[in-house]
């Protein structure tokens, strides 16, 4: 259990700090690699959708049916699934539009505004985006932590998928801040800090959920996690991937993500 706990914290830290990778990539390129982002975002969505519907939802259903019976267990599983969707939808609703981390942002678009011109709008965009990502990553940290605690293999898969989708979020923070201030350190720091809410989510889950983590609580959390991940994939990852897309690369990435996830799950049978 102790080993799983350390792994769970480590995976949430890894997934959250991937925003820093996006920030670094933005500093060392003059153009956005739209093909890479489209495939990566599609791949991440494929992993999330497949693992949510095939593995996480099923595990939640088994735990709740075994504990509460067939009727109550199935109803609570479905209820938890849509409650997770509602939670992440409400978080999205209260995020300021200008801080949406999944709006298309390219390095060359920001560069055309002029480096270090002290533009308050660009700086505000970066600050809002960092805040939005921080809010968004909090439930993702809980999802990664609880999954890794119960099934390390599943936790690794979720952490990798979330890390991939955090890379363009890091770009979304650092690029406007960098081109508004000309300060790479400040841009990187904001991008880096926005990802720290992921391990904070894990700490909150450990402090407040662990004492109550029986089969029923586990089932409800997993059902909600499945809903959160499907919503993120359909509302954020796939639309963002399509905006970067040129030749259906996002769909190829989606299929590849599902295939990789399917094979990895089969290998653990």
> Which parts are annotated binding residues for Zn(2+)?
140, 165, 169
Asked if 11 and 156 count as a contact pair (C-beta separation under 8 A), the reply is yes
- Binding residue ranges for Fe(2+): 137, 140, 166, 169, 198
Q: DSSP secondary structure string, 53-64?
A: IIIIHHHHHHHH
DSSP one-letter code for 98: G
Structure tokens belonging to residue 183: 């300060």
CB within 8 Å of 170: residues ≥ 6 apart: 18, 19, 20, 21, 22, 23, 24, 25, 26, 191, 194, 195
Residue 46 burial by CB count (10 A; 0-12/13-18/19+): exposed, middle or buried? buried
Q: Helix, strand or coil for residue 257? A: helix
Helical axes 57-68 vs 70-93, angle rounded to 10°: 130
Residue whose C-alpha is closest to residue 236's, from 132, 147, 107, 157: 132
Rounded CA gap, 210 and 251, in Å? Answer: 38
Longest CA–CA span in the chain (Å) reads: 63
Rounded CA gap, 156 and 159, in Å? Answer: 5
- Binding residue ranges: 137, 140, 165-166, 169, 198
């Amino acid at each position: 259990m102790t080993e799983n706990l350390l792994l769970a914290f480590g995976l949430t830290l890894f997934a959250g700090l991937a925003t820093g990778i996006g920030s670094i990539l933005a500093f060392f390129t003059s153009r956005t690699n739209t093909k890479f982002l489209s495939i990566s975002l599609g791949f991440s969505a494929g992993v999330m959708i497949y693992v949510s519907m095939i593995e996480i939802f099923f595990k939640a259903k088994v735990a709740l049916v075994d504990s509460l019976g067939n009727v109550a267990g199935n109803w609570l599983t479905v209820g938890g699934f849509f409650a997770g969707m509602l939670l992440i939808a409400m978080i999205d609703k209260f995020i300021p539009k200008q801080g949406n981390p999944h709006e298309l942002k390219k390095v060359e678009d920001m560069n055309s505004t002029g480096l270090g011109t002290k533009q308050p709008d660009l700086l505000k965009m970066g600050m809002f985006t960092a805040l939005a990502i921080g809010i968004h990553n909090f439930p993702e940290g809980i999802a990664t932590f609880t999954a890794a605690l119960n099934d390390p293999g599943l936790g690794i898969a979720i952490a990798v998928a979330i890390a991939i989708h955090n890379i363009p979020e890091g770009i979304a923070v650092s690029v406007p801040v960098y081109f508004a201030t000309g300060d790479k350190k400040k841009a990187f720091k904001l991008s880096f800090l926005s990802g720290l809410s992921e391990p904070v989510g894990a700490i909150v889950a450990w402090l407040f959920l662990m004492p109550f983590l029986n089969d029923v609580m586990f089932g409800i959390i997993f059902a909600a996690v499945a809903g959160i991940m499907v919503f993120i994939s359909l509302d954020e990852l796939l639309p963002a991937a399509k905006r970067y897309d040129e030749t259906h690369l996002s769909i190829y990435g989606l299929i590849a993500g599902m295939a990789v996830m399917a094979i990895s799950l089969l290998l653990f049978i």
